A and B are shown apart, each in its own frame.
Chain A
Amino acid sequence: DAGVIQSPRHEVTEMGQEVTLRCKPISGHDYLFWYRQTMMRGLELLIYFNNNVPIDDSGMPEDRFSAKMPNASFSTLKIQPSEPRDSAVYFCASTDGPFNGYTFGSGTRLTVV
């Protein structure tokens, strides 16, 4: 398996623009997580899905953020409109069960100018 695949690896956008981050989990993993990593706040869980259904989105910072999982092999995290404070590394992770730990993607480094 190729692991968890995220795209793009880097994204630079202007304030106010829409940004879409993409994730392909490992086949057979029915949990998918989106995390944000910053120096100030560390790793923050934004939202997670089980069997394509959002289970907990309490970490989504505000209405500008939305996430979808239309099928078992694809998820998106959208920010609209983007702001400079959204600059961070966004990670997607998947797992096939709570005992097994997560497999993380390589992340998307987002810079909003």
Chain B
Amino acid sequence: AQSVTQLDSQVPVFEEAPVELRCNYSSSVSVYLFWYVQYPNQGLQLLLKYLSGSTLVKGINGFEAEFNKSQTSFHLRKPSVHISDTAEYFCAVENQGGSEKLVFGKGTKLTVNP
């Protein structure tokens, strides 16, 4: 079975600073990888996804993530954050060719301070 570890439960940063949210996964087969964002009192929204091909994936709101197969990681980055990026971010994994269900990490709460 696959699993996802988000190494930081909370990440505080100042506005316009760069940020990296870390995600490691475990699976015995090839996977698809996703990042979702959850704003307060809302459902999750898809930020970006890695299916195959280029290991650098660009998503909405200026976020990007890099797939590293050897390190089984899929870290999320943004070069300059805004106050509006304050939210919880979830990494998720899905086995290729297996069931269609996503397994989510426990989330990282990003707080952007002025």
Give chain A's interface residues, CB within 8 Å of chain B.
Answer: 4, 31, 33, 42-43, 45, 48, 50, 55-56, 91, 93, 95, 97-99, 101-107
Contact = CB atoms under 8 A, between A and B. Distances in A.
Most B CB within 10 A of own CB, among A95, A99, A105, A106? A99
Contacts of B99: 55-56
A18 to B, nearest CB: 24
B29 interface: no
Interface in B12-64: 32, 34, 36, 41-46, 49, 51
Interface residues of B, number: 22
Q: Output the residue of B90, B99, B101, B106 with the most chain A CB within 10 A.
A: B101
A56 B43 contact: no
Given A43-B90, A101-B34, A48 B46 contact: no
B51 A33 contact: no
Nearest to A109: B41
A33 B92 CA distance: 15
Nearest to A50: B100
10 contacts: A31-B100, A43-B107, A48-B101, A93-B43, A95-B100, A99-B51, A101-B49, A104-B36, A106-B42, A107-B42
Contacts of A4: 43
B90 to A, nearest CB: 7
B87 interface: no
Contact of A42 (B32, B51, B106): B106
A40 to B, nearest CB: 10
B32 A99 contact: yes
Given A42-B105, A101-B34, A102-B44, 4 more contacts: A4-B43, A91-B44, A95-B100, A106-B43
A31 B99 CA distance: 11
B101 A104 contact: no
A56 B1 CA distance: 14
Contacts of A106: 41-43
Shortest Cβ-Cβ A-B pairs, 9 listed? A104-B43, A101-B46, A42-B106, A98-B100, A43-B104, A104-B44, A106-B43, A105-B43, A107-B43
